[in-house]
Chains A and B, each alone.
Chain A
Amino acid sequence: MKKNMKLGVALVTAATLISGGAVATSASATTYKYYIAYQGPLTGDNKQTGLDEIAGVKYALALYNKANPKAQVGLKQVDDQGSGPGASVVAPGTAKDKSILAIVGPAFSGASVASFPYYKAAGLPLISPSATRVTLTDPSSTDFGGPVFHRLPSKDDKQGPALAKYAIQGVKSPVVYTVNDQSSYGTGLDGYVQSALKALGHAAVGTDSVDGTNTTLDFSATISKIKDSKTNVVIYSGYYAQAAGFVKQLRNAGFTGIFASGDGTYDPGFIDGAGDAAEGARLTASSAVFQDAGKAIAADFKKVTGNAPGTYATEDFDAANIILSCIKKGNTTRAKIQKCINTGTFTGLMGNTIKFDKNGDTAGAGFINAFLVTGGTIISKGQI
């Protein structure tokens, strides 16, 4: 349904442009000896996520280049449109471009899987800020991205149970309804939420999938079902723009129970979009919003990149810094950077320690923070 003829035409045009252009775009102004790349959706339906993410990388690079004026590092933008097919168009060229030492990305799990064969063959190290599909770091799966793939976010199998637990916390007799946005992130997380609910003895009374492309904004049928099932807890797995519209309509329809959602909704944009309806929303995420690092740095971020820090900005900033710190230590080949990422211990924006295990997950990962929307801001409630 999403892909019609119009899109087909657009894709052909876009594919032509991408295969010839995108990898080389940022090289036009100044040429650098070494580059890092960002790979994610920079055009298409999900470009909002990509633009938020690349801003984090740009900010890290700006700080690095200011501090190391003699050994500046450039950025190449790799636009995979957030999809597997998009990724298989751009990944071969990116793998061949020897000036790229490492990639922050791919942003999405499906695009990651499609890119792996090329990057594995070229030994190009990856640190994804946002790909959370469990199988990406499971050596027994065909989706496995090792040894080149690393990621910063917690996996969905950690977040799902935490989200389920937090959503029903303090509710006397929870009747839970789960909703996902049909994206691979949303359905994946929803699956873990549902099995966790079952384990907690409060299996969901119903589940629905809404259109997550953010072009369909009518949720009335889903909301009718929720009201019909006498639900008092709704858990939404998906991204914030859609979640904002959903919760608004849910509250407008008179729902007074609890609304809970995962890290896709953990974004100031959720509150901007939903307004009063966001109040009381329970959110989980494995990181902190960039803004928590302090007003000054958030303001500087906006000044440098032109954007306020958005989704996954913290992870992108950290991922870029890990690679840059490896380059700074004199690792200027892909193999050396790969080794540096695998063996090093790094410090994140929030002062947290980052170390990767042999499959590419952060060692000791699995902490999930709980948040509550109070008075129009996201307030941390500590680890869950």
Chain B
Amino acid sequence: MHTLISQFWQLTFSGAVQGFIYILISLGYTMVYGVLRMINFANSEIFMVGTFATIVVSRDILGHQPNSGDLHGFTLIYSMLFCLIASMLASGVTAVIVELVAYRRLRSRGTNRLAPLISAIGMSIVLSESVSLLTAGRATIAPEMLHKSSLFTILGANIRVDQLLVFIVAPIMFFGLQRFVNHTRLGKGIRAVSMNEETAKLMGVNLNRVISITFLIGGLMTGAAAFFFETVYEATKFNIGFNIGIAAFTAAVLGGIGNIRGAFVGGLTLGLLETYASAVLGSQWKAITVFIVLVLVLLVRPNGLFGEAIQQSRV
């Protein structure tokens, strides 16, 4: 308890950073659920692909090495931008492929709702085991691009540059996405499909295209999360998506799966809750605390804090 009080702002800041990463990943679950009413179990591996894309680009294409020192100025900026875009694209493309392979074919054949679930799990195993074979199951270390220097101390919290970056850029991306869904033609299409698939089709919405784009957007956001994750933690492994995927899925359910604003609140709540619980009870109690809170929230609000479905997030 003492730690929680004396380190409150430090914990809050770290928890929020973790929460923002969860938010971006949970969009991969929530967007897909919104339009398909199905859970994209491969999203954790879409995240994993993003983390590897970040490392491959910075190490093999840009030629930075884990111990070659930090980058500065222009090199730093273009390296990070390049990695961010690569990670987003890699995850986005993977998500679209997952949709094509695991969902579209089955959907067009009109199978029951469980079949795509299993095929998505299959895709997820294929992805993680393939990377496991390629990397011999070892952790891969990312080059340190951004030096983890402490910028300033505020209310006793030590603000590090990498964490601050996540703290600022992740919410911008989130609100950008929300604007896109609410105000663009494509976004309206996504919302139309999420309200009623049949009616949307009759209104001239190209269903397959909307679904592909939804997967793409979810993947892009998950890829951005992967880049931020690598910036802060600098390591990945074939099964890296597993725990963080469950956490992000939990965040989506907590906020109300299918609901974009819900993902924001759910992710942030989860990040803070995990950090506080670790500080007060010990890290081994983190998962237990989180799930007790989740169950309690669902008992009171069965559809999560903000209720289900994208369409309800309309302003």
Partners in one complex: yes
> Which of A's residues lie within 8 Å of B, judged by CB?
1-2, 4-6, 9-10, 13, 45, 47-48, 51, 182, 207-211, 213-222, 224-225, 227-229, 241, 244-245, 248-249, 252-254, 269, 272-273, 275-276, 307
* CA–CA, A10 and B132, complex, Å: 14
A9 and B66 within 8 A (CB): no
Query: Contact check: which of B136, B138, B246 meets A4 at CB < 8 Å?
Result: B246
* CA–CA, A4 and B241, complex, Å: 13
Q: Which residues of A contact B11 (CB under 8 A)?
A: 220-221, 224
Please list the 6 inter-chain residue pairs (A to B) with the smallest Cβ-Cβ separation, ordered nearest first.
A221-B278, A220-B14, A209-B284, A217-B233, A47-B137, A1-B287
B2 and A6 within 8 A (CB): no
A217-B233, A221-B279, A222-B283 are contacts. A252–B148 as well, Cβ < 8 Å?
A: yes
B14 and A211 within 8 A (CB): no
- The closest CB in chain B to the CB of A226 belongs to B3
Would you give 29 A-B contacts (Cβ < 8 Å), ordered by A? A1-B291, A6-B41, A6-B121, A6-B124, A9-B125, A48-B139, A208-B283, A209-B284, A213-B239, A213-B243, A216-B244, A217-B240, A218-B18, A220-B11, A221-B11, A221-B283, A221-B286, A224-B11, A228-B3, A228-B7, A241-B139, A244-B141, A244-B235, A245-B233, A245-B234, A252-B148, A269-B138, A275-B67, A307-B136
Query: Contact check: which of B125, B240, B291 meets A10 at CB < 8 Å?
Result: B125
B125 and A275 within 8 A (CB): no
B239 and A45 within 8 A (CB): yes
Starting from the known contacts A47-B137, A211-B283, A272-B66, 12 additional A-B residue pairs (CB-CB under 8 Å) come to A2-B242, A4-B246, A6-B41, A6-B242, A208-B282, A208-B284, A218-B14, A221-B14, A221-B286, A245-B235, A252-B148, A269-B138
- The closest CB in chain B to the CB of A224 belongs to B7
* CA–CA, A273 and B235, complex, Å: 8
Q: Which residues of A contact B136 (CB under 8 A)?
A: 48, 51, 307
B233 and A48 within 8 A (CB): no
Query: Contact check: which of A47, A228, A307 meets B6 at CB < 8 Å?
Result: A228
CB under 8 Å from chain A, chain B span 190-232 = 229
* CA–CA, A269 and B136, complex, Å: 14
Instruction: Give the dominant DSSP class at A's interface.
Output: helix
CB under 8 Å from chain A, chain B span 129-162 = 132, 136-139, 141, 144, 148, 150, 158, 160
A214 and B139 within 8 A (CB): yes
A-B contact count, CB below 8 Å?
125
B137 and A215 within 8 A (CB): no
Number of interface residues of B (CB under 8 A): 51
B132 and A47 within 8 A (CB): yes
- The closest CB in chain A to the CB of B275 belongs to A221
Q: In angstroms, how far is the closest chain A Cβ from the Cβ of B73?
A: 22
B243 and A1 within 8 A (CB): yes
Q: In angstroms, how far is the closest chain B Cβ from the Cβ of A371?
A: 20
* CA–CA, A225 and B286, complex, Å: 14
Q: In angstroms, how far is the closest chain B Cβ from the Cβ of A235?
A: 16
Q: Is B10 an interface residue (CB 8 A)?
A: yes
Q: Which residues of A contact B64 (CB under 8 A)?
A: none
Q: Which residues of B contact A273 (CB under 8 A)?
A: 139, 141, 235
Residues 242-273 of chain B, each 1 if its beta carbon lies under 8 Å from chain A, else 0: 11101000000000000000000000000000
Q: Which residues of B contact A48 (CB under 8 A)?
A: 136-139
* CA–CA, A273 and B10, complex, Å: 25
* CA–CA, A216 and B287, complex, Å: 12
Q: Which residues of B contact A248 (CB under 8 A)?
A: 234
Q: Which residues of B contact A254 (CB under 8 A)?
A: 150, 158
B246 and A224 within 8 A (CB): no
* CA–CA, A153 and B284, complex, Å: 28
A253 and B158 within 8 A (CB): yes
A217 and B148 within 8 A (CB): no
Q: Which residues of A contact B121 (CB under 8 A)?
A: 5-6, 9
A218 and B233 within 8 A (CB): yes
Q: In angstroms, how far is the closest chain B Cβ from the Cβ of A305?
A: 11
Query: Contact check: which of B67, B144, B160, B283 meets A210 at CB < 8 Å?
Result: B283
A51 and B137 within 8 A (CB): yes
Residues 66-78 of chain B, each 1 if its beta carbon lies under 8 Å from chain A, else 0: 1100000000000
* CA–CA, A192 and B280, complex, Å: 24
A209 and B282 within 8 A (CB): yes
